[in-house]
């Protein structure tokens, strides 16, 4: 065997990244574990678990007898993820920090740190995802700085690496990786690609990672922890009180502290209402948040949306779409939601219109429209515009019908008839 390959593994202190590091070591690689600190504890009133996570990651590295490093991306996270998040909330959108964190931090700053500073041949993470490359192909990739010109050289021979679903379809995390760069993907190993969560836990138990197995699965936004979202966001944004307005009759039914504390489809907490009301729309110019009775009100269902410039994992759009401007594939905008068949139309500016085979509940601006073709995750684009709701279309049909009926009821005088 030749020289030993050096792999830098992102360690979160959780079971997945711990087992990823173990499997890399078993494959005979020289492994370095790195814990990323993205959020500054000093900003907070407690409740963030980063220090405990770091200790857990360090203990795993001790058990595996591999070097451990800690790197801080607090400043980068603040400027490239969190500030962006606040701006999106102010625009009335609901962003996805996990997708942004992978794009800007893990598969950008951390990738460069692994390759340039630590001299790694590849980086690795504990994501449940797969690429179209074998390990050896990953090691043959060399990092090339992105071109300074707007377009890549068309003659550059490049066989893009595909991002594909992991074997555990329930845990599959390609949704969260849908904005990462081709350059980072080319140099990434996903050791858990072919494993299920159950099997990963079994490996962890056999390896003696008991302190990691005891941990609660981390869900939700990392920097909020167990706190109430409304209280958290109001620490950073000025309250902008407004009215809750009924979509049915336009009456004011209550008040809120700011549209950014609410997202489409959630239950609106309004005192004195005997029936549950749900957020169906927001008007950030007036501050009005529109609500409707029942969780499945037609104003919550839509079947078309537009994204901003779409991020294709392969850099260029699929050949079929580039050729005909249209393509059939599958869509999701929430991790683990069932995939929905759709038709994609490519616009001149790189954005896409997505037309769904059925109306979906609470499509939300700011969230990411992630597209799949079979097992392959094609990439994603931020939802910036929604088509009309079922309620709007229904009202339009009713108005049209009423107008037609009025027309039909009008008596028509015949100029050909004269009195005898």
Q: What is the DSSP string of 222-243?
A: TTTTTS-HHHHHTTTS----EE
Given CA atoms 220, 385, 355, 343 in this order, what sign does their dihedral have?
Answer: negative
With vertex at residue 42, the alpha carbon angle to CA 9 and CA 260, rounded to the nearest 5 degrees, is: 90
pLDDT of amino acid 43 = 47
CB neighbourhood size of 362 (10 A)? 19
- Which of helix, strand or coil describes residue 327? strand
219 Cβ contact partners less than 8 Å away, ≥ 6 residues apart: none
Specify the pLDDT at position 419: 44
What pLDDT was estimated at residue 273? 82
Q: What is the pLDDT of residue 11?
A: 96
Is there a contact between 84 and 100 (Cβ–Cβ < 8 Å)?
yes
222 as an active site residue: the answer is yes
Collect all residues with Cβ–Cβ distance below 8 Å to 276 and sequence separation of at least 6.
Answer: 267, 293, 294, 295
Residue 284's CB is within 10 A of a number of other CB atoms, namely 16
Place of tokens 């850099």: 315
If DSSP codes are grouped into helix, strand and coil, which group holds residue 55? Answer: helix
- Considering 61, 101, 164, 342, which one is annotated as catalytic? 101
218 half-sphere exposure, CB direction, 13 A CA radius: 18
* Cβ atoms of 120 and 114 closer than 8 Å: yes
Q: Which of 36, 28, 19 lies closest to 114 in space, CA to CA?
A: 36
- Cα dihedral 217, 222, 223, 225 sign: negative
List of residues 6+ apart from 164 with CB closer than 8 A: 129, 130, 131, 132, 174, 375, 376, 377
Please give the pLDDT value at position 409. 74
Tens-binned pLDDT, residue by residue, of the chain (420 aa):
457 899 999 999 999 999 999 999 999 999 999 999 988 765 455 555 678 889 999 999 999 999 999 999 999 999 999 999 999 999 999 999 999 999 999 999 999 999 999 999 999 999 999 999 888 888 887 655 555 555 555 444 468 999 999 999 999 999 999 999 999 999 999 999 999 999 999 999 999 999 999 877 665 566 665 567 888 888 899 999 999 999 999 999 999 999 999 999 999 989 888 889 999 999 999 999 999 999 999 999 999 999 999 999 999 999 999 999 999 999 999 999 999 999 999 999 999 999 999 999 999 999 999 999 999 999 999 999 999 999 999 999 988 888 888 877 766 555 554 443
Residue-level pLDDT at 142: 65
Q: Are 244 and 251 in contact (CB under 8 A)?
A: no
For residue 330, give every residue at least 6 positions away whose Cβ sits within 8 Å of its Cβ, in sequence order, or none. 339, 340, 341, 342, 371, 372, 373
What is the predicted pLDDT for the residue at 46? Answer: 52
Q: CB under 8 Å to 84, separation ≥6 — which residues?
A: 95, 100
Going by the DSSP 8-state scheme, the letter that residue 380 receives in this structure is E
pLDDT at 272: 80
Q: What is the biggest distance separating any 2 CA atoms in the chain, rounded to whole angstroms? A: 114
DSSP state of 150: S
**290 close to 243: Cβ distance less than 8 angstroms:** no
Under DSSP, the state recorded for 140 is: T
Query: Distance between CA 12 and CA 14 in Å, rounded?
Result: 5
Q: What's the length of the chain? A: 420
Cα dihedral 114/140/187/168 (nearest 10): -130
Catalytic, out of 222, 329, 342, 377: 222
Distance CA 297, CA 240 (A): 26
* Phi (first) and psi of residue 290, to 5 degrees: -90, 135
CA dist 127 and 111 (Å) reads 15
Please tell me the predicted confidence (pLDDT) of residue 420. 39
Q: Do residues 244 and 267 touch, judged by C-beta distance below 8 A?
A: no
Token pair recorded at residue 1: 């065997």
Residue 79 carries which DSSP code? I
DSSP for 43-96, written as a single string: GSSS---HHHHHHHHHHHHHHHT--EEEEE-HHHHIIIIIHHHHHHHHTT----
Residue 9 annotated in active site = no
Interaxial angle between packed helices 50-64 and 15-26, expressed in degrees from 0 to 180 and rounded to the nearest 10: 20
Q: Which residue has the tokens 């574990």?
A: 33
């Amino acid at each position: 065997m030749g020289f030993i390959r050096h792999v830098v593994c992102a360690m979160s202190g959780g079971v997945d990244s711990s087992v990823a590091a173990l499997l890399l070591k078993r494959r005979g690689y020289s492994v370095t574990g790195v814990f990323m600190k993205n959020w500054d504890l000093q900003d907070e009133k407690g409740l963030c678990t980063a220090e405990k996570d770091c200790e857990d990651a360090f203990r795993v590295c001790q058990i595996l007898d591999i070097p451990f490093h800690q790197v801080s991306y607090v400043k980068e996270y603040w400027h490239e993820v969190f500030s962006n998040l606040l701006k999106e909330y102010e625009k009335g959108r609901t962003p996805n920090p996990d997708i942004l964190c992978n794009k800007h931090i893990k598969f950008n700053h951390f990738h460069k740190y692994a390759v340039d500073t630590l001299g790694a041949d590849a980086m690795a993470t504990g994501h449940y995802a797969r690429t179209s490359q074998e390990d050896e192909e990953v090691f043959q990739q060399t990092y090339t700085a992105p071109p300074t010109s707007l377009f890549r050289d068309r003659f550059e021979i490049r066989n893009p690496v595909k991002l594909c679903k992991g074997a555990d379809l329930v845990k599959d995390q390609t949704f969260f990786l849908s904005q990462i760069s081709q350059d980072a993907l080319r140099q990434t190993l996903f050791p858990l690609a072919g494993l299920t969560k159950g099997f990963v836990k079994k490996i962890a138990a056999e390896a003696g990672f008991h302190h990691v197995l005891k941990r609660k699965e981390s869900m939700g936004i990392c920097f909020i922890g167990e706190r109430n979202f409304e209280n958290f966001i109001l620490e950073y944004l000025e309250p902008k009180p407004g009215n809750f307005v009924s979509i049915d009759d336009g009456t004011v039914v209550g008040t809120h502290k700011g549209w950014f504390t609410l997202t489409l489809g959630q239950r609106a907490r309004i005192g004195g209402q005997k029936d549950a009301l749900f957020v169906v729309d927001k008007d950030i110019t007036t501050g009005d948040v529109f609500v409707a009775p029942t969780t499945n009100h037609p104003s919550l269902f839509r079947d078309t949306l537009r994204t901003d410039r779409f991020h294709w994992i392969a850099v260029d759009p699929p050949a079929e779409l580039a050729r005909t401007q249209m393509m059939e594939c599958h869509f999701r905008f929430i991790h683990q939601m069932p995939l929905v068949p759709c038709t994609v139309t490519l616009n001149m500016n790189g954005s896409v219109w997505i037309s769904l085979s059925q109306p979906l509940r609470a499509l939300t601006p700011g969230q990411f429209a992630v597209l799949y073709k079979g097992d392959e995750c094609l990439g994603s684009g931020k939802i910036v515009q929604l088509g009309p709701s079922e309620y709007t279309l229904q009202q339009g049909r009713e108005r049209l019908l009423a107008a037609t009926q009025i027309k039909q009821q009008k008596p028509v005088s015949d100029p050909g008839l004269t009195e005898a």
